[in-house]
Amino acid sequence: MTTIDPYKALGVSASKEDVHAAILELEPSVFPGAFCQVVADDEHTLSIIHADGAGTKSTVAYIKY
């Protein structure tokens, strides 16, 4: 009997391989290995880019519906 992983069936990935592949071309983060991208704007400020959360998933599900 084959068990279907409901997360995989919905396109969810716990390992985030799609995310890692998508960010390969981005400027390296100030903090390598961090889940979010941290980029120095100048010597005094940083920009933090993070786009994963429950709101994102529900919005994508709603748009797909």
Q: What is the pLDDT of residues 5-40, one digit of tens each?
A: 777 777 777 677 777 787 777 777 888 877 778 888
Q: Minimal CA–CA distance to 35: which of 11, 13, 16?
A: 16
Kindly state the helix (H) or strand (E) to which residue 39 belongs, with its residue range: strand 37-40
Q: Minimal CA–CA distance to 19: which of 65, 45, 56?
A: 56
pTM: 0.41
Report the C-alpha gap between 3 and 63 in whole angstroms.
28
In this structure, what are the phi and psi dihedrals at residue 41, rounded to the nearest 5 degrees? -80, -45
Q: Token pair of 59, please?
A: 């919005």
